[in-house]
Amino acid sequence: MVTVETISIVFTGLSISLAAFYYISTLRNAQRNRQLQLETRQLDLYMKWQIELTKPDFLKNWFEVSQLEWKDFDDFARKYSHNVNIENGSKRFSLWFYFDGLGYLLYRGMMDADTIFDMIGNGSIGHWNRFEPIIREFRERDGRPETWRWFEYLAQEMKKVREQRGLPEYIPPWRPETP
C-alpha cells in the first residue's frame, strides 16, 4: 500500500531531480550564450582590423615602407628616423603599431592565430624579418628591450601557424634584398 509518506518522498525526489535538470539546462544555455557573445566580439574586432587594413592610406604606407632601402642601421636612421623624416616615420610607425596591436590581441586571446594568419600572417612575417635588425638595434641603443615586442610575438606565432599548416617560407614579392 502507498502511504502519504512514500508519496511525499517520491514527490521530493522528483522535485529535486527537476530542479537539478533545470539548473544544468540553465548553465548550458548561459555557456552557449557566452560563447556566442565571444564569437560575436571576436568577429567585430576582426572586421574593425580588416577595415583598417583595406584603407588606401594604410596600403600606401605599407607599400612605401616595404620599399625602403638602407645599407646598415646608421644609414637607416639617417634616412628614415622619425626625428629626421617625420613623414616616413609616421608611415612606418602606423604599420608597426598595426602589427604590434594584432600581436597584443593574439597574446591576450582576443583573436586567434589562425584568423590572424589568414588575415595578414605572411605580411607580418615578411615585415618582421625585414625590419628585425633595425628594431633590435633601436631596442639596444634606446635601452628599451620591450619596443615592438608584440610585433615580434605576432611574427613568431604566425611562423608557427605557417609551419603547422606545412606551408613554405613566404618571400614577399615587394621585398627588396634585405641589407
Q: What gap in Å lies between CA 78 and CA 166, rounded to an integer?
A: 40
pLDDT of res. 178 = 47
Per-residue pLDDT reduced to its tens digit, 115-149: 899 988 889 999 999 999 999 999 999 999 999 99
For residue 64, the tally of other CB atoms under 10 A from its CB is 14
- Where along the chain do its domains lie? 1-38, 55-164
pLDDT of res. 19 = 84
For residue 162, the tally of other CB atoms under 10 A from its CB is 17
Cα–Cα nearest to 174, from 23, 36, 38, 64: 64
- pLDDT grade for 177, boundaries at 50, 70 and 90: low
| Phi, psi of 61, deg, nearest 5 | -60, -45
Q: What gap in Å lies between CA 63 and CA 174, rounded to an integer?
A: 8
Cα–Cα nearest to 102, from 124, 135, 118, 134: 124
- pLDDT grade for 174, boundaries at 50, 70 and 90: low
138 Cβ contact partners less than 8 Å away, ≥ 6 residues apart: 144, 147
- pLDDT grade for 161, boundaries at 50, 70 and 90: very high
96, three cell numbers: 608597426
Per-residue pLDDT reduced to its tens digit, 39-57: 888 788 888 878 888 889 9
Per-residue pLDDT reduced to its tens digit, 58-94: 889 999 998 999 999 999 999 998 888 899 889 999 9
| Phi, psi of 144, deg, nearest 5 | -130, 85
Per-residue pLDDT reduced to its tens digit, 17-27: 888 888 888 88
Cα–Cα nearest to 103, from 125, 88, 81, 87: 125
- pLDDT grade for 10, boundaries at 50, 70 and 90: confident
